Structure 1
Amino acid sequence: MAPLISIKSSDDRLEIVNQLLLPHTTEFLEINSLEEAHDAIKTMKIRGAPAIASLAALSVSQHLTRGLKAIPAPDYLASRDNLKAHVDKILAYLFTSRPTAVNLGAATRRLTKVLDDNISAAQDTRAIAEALIAEGKAVADEDVGRNKEMAKWAGEWLLQRVKEQGGDVSGGVNVLTVCNTGSLATSGYGTALGMITYLHETNKLQKAYYTQTAPYHQGSRLTALELQTLQIPSVMICDTMVGSLFQHHNIHAVVVGADRIAKNGDTANKIGTYNAAVLAARHKIPFIVVAPISTVDLDVHDGSQIPIEQRPPLEACLVRGILYPNEGPQQQVQVMITPSGLEGIYNPSFDVTPAELITAIATEKGVAVKAAGASVFDLSPIV
Structure 2
Amino acid sequence: MTTSAGMTSIRTSEGRIEIINQLLLPHTTEWVAVDTIEEAFDAIKSMKIRGAPAIASLAALTVSSHLSKALKDDPAPQFVLSPEALKSYIEPILNYLPTARPTAVNLGAAIRRLTKTLNNSISEKKDARTITQDLIAEGVAIDGEDVARNKQMSKWGGEWLVEEVKKRGGEGDRLNVMTVCNTGSLATSGYGTALGLITYLHETGRLETAFFTQSTPYHQGSRLTALELLTLKIPSVMLCDSMVGSLFQHKGISGIAVGADRIARNGDTANKVGTYNAAVLAARHNIPFIVVAPISTVDLDIEDGSQIPIEHRPPLEARLVRGALYPFKVDAQGVKEQATVMVTPEDLEGVYNPSFDVTPADLITAIVTEKGVAVKTEGSKVFDLSNIV
> Into which bin does the TM-score normalised by the smaller protein fall?
over 0.9
* Whole-angstrom CA distance in 2 between matches of 1:133 and 1:260: 26
Deviation at 1:33, TM superposition (A): 0.3
* Whole-angstrom CA distance in 1 between matches of 2:87 and 2:113: 14
* Whole-angstrom CA distance in 2 between matches of 1:291 and 1:85: 33
For 2:187, what is the secondary structure of its paired residue?
Answer: coil
Asked if 2 retains the 8 angstrom alpha-carbon contact of 1:6 and 1:184, the reply is yes
Asked if 1 retains the 8 angstrom alpha-carbon contact of 2:163 and 2:172, the reply is no
1:137 is aligned to 140
2:368 is aligned to 362
Q: Confirm or deny that 1:348 pairs with 2:354.
A: yes
Q: What amino acid is the match of 1:350?
A: F
Deviation at 1:325, TM superposition (A): 1.4
Deviation at 1:86, TM superposition (A): 1.2
* Whole-angstrom CA distance in 1 between matches of 2:80 and 2:163: 55
2:255 is aligned to 253
Q: Confirm or deny that 1:195 pairs with 2:197.
A: yes
For 1:141, what is the secondary structure of its paired residue?
Answer: helix
For 1:288, what is the secondary structure of its paired residue?
Answer: strand
**Map 1:232-271 → 2, pairs under 5 A:** 232-271=234-273
Aligned-pair identity in percent equals 69
Q: What amino acid is the match of 1:21?
A: L
1:252-274 CA deviation, whole Å, 9 max, x = no partner? 10100000000000000001000
* Whole-angstrom CA distance in 2 between matches of 1:217 and 1:125: 45
For 2:263, what is the secondary structure of its paired residue?
Answer: strand
1:56-112 CA deviation, whole Å, 9 max, x = no partner? 000000100000001111111121111111111111010111000000000000000
Q: Confirm or deny that 1:309 pairs with 2:311.
A: yes
Choose the corresponding residue for 2:72, options 54, 69, 73.
69
2:163 is aligned to 160
* Whole-angstrom CA distance in 2 between matches of 1:141 and 1:279: 37
| Count of residues paired in the alignment | 382
* Whole-angstrom CA distance in 1 between matches of 2:317 and 2:93: 28
126-135 vs 338-347, greater mean Cα deviation: 338-347
Asked if 2 retains the 8 angstrom alpha-carbon contact of 1:216 and 1:317, the reply is no
Deviation at 1:215, TM superposition (A): 4.3
Q: List structure 1 segments (4+ residues) > 4 angstroms apart after TM superposition.
A: none
Deviation at 1:3, TM superposition (A): 1.7
1:266-308 CA deviation, whole Å, 9 max, x = no partner? 0000010000000000000000000000000000110000000
For 2:163, what is the secondary structure of its paired residue?
Answer: helix
Choose the corresponding residue for 1:30, options 33, 39, 55.
33
Q: What amino acid is the match of 1:239?
A: D
* Whole-angstrom CA distance in 1 between matches of 2:41 and 2:67: 16
Q: What amino acid is the match of 1:184?
A: L
184-193 vs 72-81, greater mean Cα deviation: 72-81
Q: TM-score, normalised by structure 1?
A: 0.98
2:184 is aligned to 182
- Gaps in structure 1 of 5+ consecutive residues: none
Q: What amino acid is the match of 1:18?
A: N
Deviation at 1:43, TM superposition (A): 0.2
For 1:96, what is the secondary structure of its paired residue?
Answer: helix
* Whole-angstrom CA distance in 1 between matches of 2:42 and 2:305: 27
**Map 1:97-108 → 2, pairs under 5 A:** 97-108=100-111
Change (3 A) 1:19 1:65: same
Q: What amino acid is the match of 1:12?
A: G
* Whole-angstrom CA distance in 1 between matches of 2:273 and 2:195: 17
280-289 vs 214-223, greater mean Cα deviation: 214-223
1:195-225 CA deviation, whole Å, 9 max, x = no partner? 0000000001000000012143334310000
Q: TM-score, normalised by structure 2?
A: 0.97
Q: What amino acid is the match of 1:325?
A: P
1:336 is aligned to 342
* Whole-angstrom CA distance in 2 between matches of 1:355 and 1:164: 22
